Every structure is written in C-alpha cells, then in structure tokens.
Amino acid sequence: TLEQLNDQFNEFDQTIRTLSDWVQEQTSDLEFMRTRNLEAGAKDNIRRCNEMEFQLTSKQQILTSLKSYNGRMTSSSSTFRITDQDGTIQNLRHMLEHLSPSIE
C-alpha cells in the first residue's frame, strides 16, 4: 500500500541521514587529527631546531675560546708549553663532554 511505501521511504531517508551525519563526523575527526598532527610535527621540528641552535652556539663559544686561548700558548725552540692559568682548558673540556645531543 501507499502508506507502507511511505513508511519504508521515511525509514530509508532516516538511515541515509544517519549515515550522512556519521560520515560528516568521521571527516571532521580526520581533519582535527590532521591539524593536531601538523601542530605536533611543527612543535617537534621547532624543538629540534632549538637544540641544534644551542649546539651550534655552544660549539661557536668553544671555538672562540680556543682562538683567544691560542694567543696564550708559549713555545720556544724545542719546548712547547700550554699554560692553563684561569682554568679555560678545564672549562672547555667540561663543555665538550656535556654537549648533547651531538650533531654529527
């Protein structure tokens, strides 16, 4: 009968709407996850960049210290002596040992 057909159609229509809503939800969830992953990835990259920047800065400081220390090395003919008056070499050794993570 027409009434039964009408009922069936309404039921079918409801099912389609429910499915449509579900698909919409899944899609927005995926979109949300994608943006979260992008954010997390960006934060991780920034953290890595900061670590590398710190590494490079530390190595730059060590190089500068070594260059300035170079002037205080004394050598005469066959003897070669390095004086560590202010503990610079100890400090450099300490800094080098504690650099982490190291950049290859």
Residue 85 pLDDT: 63
Question: Is 57 domain-assigned?
Answer: yes
25 compared with 90, residue with greater pLDDT: 25
Q: Would the pTM count as exceeding 0.95? A: no
Question: Is 91 domain-assigned?
Answer: yes
Question: Is 25 domain-assigned?
Answer: yes
Question: Is 45 domain-assigned?
Answer: yes
62 touches 95 (CB < 8 A): yes
Give the three-class secondary structure for 78: coil
Closest by alpha carbon to 81, among 89, 1, 94?
A: 89
Residue 49 has pLDDT above 80, yes or no: yes
Can you name the residues that pair with 79 across neighbouring β-strands?
76
Question: Is 81 domain-assigned?
Answer: yes
Residue 34 has pLDDT above 70, yes or no: yes
The residue with tokens 């943006």 is: 35
Rounded Cα distance, 70 and 61, in Å: 14
Across the range 61-79, mean pLDDT stands at 65
Looking at the structure of the chain, the number of domains it has is 1
Question: Is 35 domain-assigned?
Answer: yes
Question: Is 102 domain-assigned?
Answer: no
96 compared with 2, residue with greater pLDDT: 2
Residue 104 pLDDT: 47
Residue 102 has pLDDT above 70, yes or no: no
61 touches 99 (CB < 8 A): no
Give the mean pLDDT of the chain. 77
Residue 86 has pLDDT above 50, yes or no: yes
Q: Whole domain around residue 84: which residue ranges?
A: 2-97
Question: Is 104 domain-assigned?
Answer: no
